[in-house]
């Protein structure tokens, strides 16, 4: 998935030795969600659609759900891809201050990844513990380490967070997608209505208002690694909450195995507005990758 492409690229960087911050970028698209919600006849504050929401046309349903998700601001996240390395569980806060904590698989081992603001942290496992005694997290700051060999991909994690953001995805597809209603379906026992959208990558990025040109270019590069269009599926419940999202714009890029190149990854959001918001770890638990690279003379 695009998410995995950026995430695994960042993890690989870790294992190998006037831009907007990620938090600013996450806050900026709220205008798109607000305008989308207004076009649906709802408020940008995220008022739940009326009981007849299942009868909304696809554009109105996605726009109203964008407002609901924007108001919720956070959730528990379950990510399921074609392989264990494309899957994970965690916590995501898409309102500022933006943060994401995921437990993912990396070459068969569980790895914890934390994004707080515009900084990435990777959990120190037993193998890395010898290099960083007493530390629980390795800090990878794209601003401090962008010049280091192999760390360039860290600058792309802002695009990953945009693609995970349900309010951004819903608003963008409501505005620019070719939409259809698949029909009622249950997701984990919950009644939902399934909607499908096909959207040009350039239109998806254009609908992400408020992003810096650099971040837009990063998102577009990732999206077009497998084609010029994305197909997205949204499962929305009677309260206008996005229960599940899936699509090919979340699928592996060119570096993935060809069999998985067009695989669909699904994201499930639960405990909307009630999930714990991840925070940056205490300084005493953190080792700084940029300092290590400087000491080794590689930056």
113-164 residue pLDDT tens: 898 877 888 898 877 778 888 899 988 876 765 445 555 555 556 667 777 8
Give the count of domains, the chain: 1
CA distance 164 to 161: 5
pLDDT of residue 250: 57
Distance of alpha carbon 101 from the chain centroid: 11
Tokens of 105: 């698989």
Top-confidence residue, 57 or 260: 57
pLDDT in tens, 90-121: 999 998 788 999 998 777 788 888 988 778 88
Residue 264 DSSP label? -
Give the chain's end-to-end CA distance (angstroms, integer): 30
Q: In this predicted structure, what is the pLDDT of residue 286?
A: 92
Strand order across the beta sheet in which 286-288 lies? 178-187, 190-200, 229-237, 242-247, 265-270, 74-80, 88-93, 99-106, 109-116, 119-123, 137-140, 286-288
Residue environment code for 96-123, b if the CB has 16+ CB neighbours within 10 A, otherwise e: bbbbbbbebbbeeeebbbbbbbbbbbbb
Kindly state the tokens that stand for 201.
């990558």
Q: What is the DSSP string of 13-60?
A: HHHT--PPPHHHHHHTTHHHHHHHHHHTTS-TT-PPPPGGGGGS-HHH
pLDDT at 252 over 70: no
Q: What is the percent of the chain with per-residue pLDDT over 70, rounded to a whole number?
A: 66
So what's the pLDDT on residue 229?
Answer: 86
Q: Which residue has the higher pLDDT, 39 or 263?
A: 263
pLDDT value, residue 129: 78
Of residues 242 and 262, the one with the higher pLDDT is 242
**Domain CATH number, residue 92:** 2.50.20.20
* Longest distance between any two alpha carbons in the chain, whole Å: 63
Task: Please give the torsion angle defined by the CA atoms of residues 141, 147, 149 and 155, in that order, rounded to the nearest 10 degrees.
Answer: 50
Scan for tokens 């010898």, then name that residue.
130
Backbone angles phi, psi at 211, to 5 degrees: -80, 150
Indicate if the pLDDT at residue 225 is higher than 70.
Answer: yes
Does 39 or 122 have the greater pLDDT score? 122
Average pLDDT score, the chain: 75
Q: Is 282 helix (H, G, I), strand (E, B) or coil?
A: coil
- What is the domain range of residue 219? 2-17+21-296
Residue 24: per-residue pLDDT: 36
Share of the chain above pLDDT 90, in %: 34
Q: What is the pLDDT of residue 156?
A: 59
Name the range with the highest mean pLDDT among 33-42, 116-125, 127-136, 183-192: 183-192
pLDDT range class, residue 241, cuts 50, 70, 90: very high
């Amino acid at each position: 998935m695009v998410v995995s492409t950026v995430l695994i690229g960042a993890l690989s960087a870790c294992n190998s030795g006037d831009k907007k911050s990620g938090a600013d970028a996450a806050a900026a698209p709220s205008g798109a969600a607000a305008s989308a919600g207004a076009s649906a006849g709802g408020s940008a504050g995220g008022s739940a659609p009326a009981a007849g929401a299942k009868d909304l046309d696809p554009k109105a349903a996605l726009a109203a759900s964008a407002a609901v998700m924007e108001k919720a601001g956070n959730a528990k996240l379950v990510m399921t891809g074609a392989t264990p390395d494309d899957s994970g569980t965690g916590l995501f806060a898409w309102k500022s201050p933006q943060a994401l904590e995921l437990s993912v698989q990396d070459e068969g081992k569980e790895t914890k990844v934390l994004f707080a603001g515009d900084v990435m942290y990777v959990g120190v496992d037993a193998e890395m513990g010898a290099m960083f005694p007493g530390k629980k997290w390795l800090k990878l700051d794209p601003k401090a380490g962008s010049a280091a060999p192999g760390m360039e991909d860290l600058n792309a994690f802002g695009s990953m967070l945009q693609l995970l953001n349900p309010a951004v995805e819903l608003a963008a597809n409501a505005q620019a997608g070719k939409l259809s209603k698949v029909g009622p379906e249950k997701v984990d026992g919950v009644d939902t209505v399934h909607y499908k959208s096909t959207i040009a990558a350039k239109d998806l990025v254009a609908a992400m208002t408020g992003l810096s040109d650099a971040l837009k270019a990063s998102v577009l590069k990732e999206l077009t690694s497998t084609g010029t269009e994305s197909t997205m599926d949204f499962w929305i419940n009677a309260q206008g909450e996005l229960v599940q999202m899936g699509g090919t714009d979340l699928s592996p890029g060119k570096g993935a195995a060809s069999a998985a190149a067009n695989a669909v990854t699904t994201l499930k959001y639960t405990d909307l507005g009630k999930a714990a918001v991840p925070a940056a770890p205490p300084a005493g638990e953190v080792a700084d990758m940029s300092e290590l690279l400087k000491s080794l003379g590689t930056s």
